Amino acid sequence: MSITDELRKEARGFGLYVYAAPQAERLTAIADRIDAEHESACAEAYGNGVMSVPIALDESAWVELPKDADGEYIHVGDVMEWVDPDGEATVTCTVDAVGVGCFFAWDNANTRFAQKCANAYRHHHAPTVEDVLEEFGIDWEHESDCEDRAALLREYASKLQLKEDE
């Protein structure tokens, strides 16, 4: 039972004292303000890279969230990608749990949860039109054969769609 739950119980008259309605309402309002302030502090801490993780059935501890290769905090539910030295994203996974300097995600290849070194991954971002055009420009420069360039045009045309005027 939390401290604010104890305060509410006392206000309802189940403790040592019996309170008049205005006193009970004030105690309940204080408990509500304490809970709201606590929730706000937890949300702020989470936004600053700290979260509460269970360490036993009835305990929890605050730990700093792991950071990716770009220094961004990793949260449960984030989609991460491992990028090889050539810049190609080779592994994409969803974070199921976090730890100190690591995160855990389902490994489809081995059909089990796997611990991932956080700073070896980056947050996955859907490619933008600019990203696709930049990649196209690089590939176009490296292709000199007309047939290969035609195939390249078809490949990138399928990635891009014109947005119709409304």
pLDDT of residue 161: 73
Q: 123-143 pLDDT, tens per residue?
A: 888 878 888 888 888 888 877
On the 0-12 / 13-18 / 19+ scale of CB atoms within 10 A, 121 is buried
Number of domains present in the structure of the chain: 3
pLDDT of residue 14: 59
Q: What is the mean pLDDT of the chain?
A: 78
Q: Which of 18-22, 42-46, 66-70 has the highest mean pLDDT?
A: 66-70
On whether residue 12 sits in a domain, the answer given is yes
* Residue 72, domain CATH: 2.30.30
The Cα–Cα gap between 45 and 41 comes to 6
On whether residue 164 sits in a domain, the answer given is no
pLDDT at residue 58 is higher than 60: no
- Three-state DSSP class for 141? helix
Q: Give yes or no: residues 70 and 103 share one domain.
A: yes
pLDDT of residue 52: 64
pLDDT of residue 51: 67
On whether residue 138 sits in a domain, the answer given is yes
Question: Which domain, by its residues, includes 139?
Answer: 129-159
On whether residue 55 sits in a domain, the answer given is no
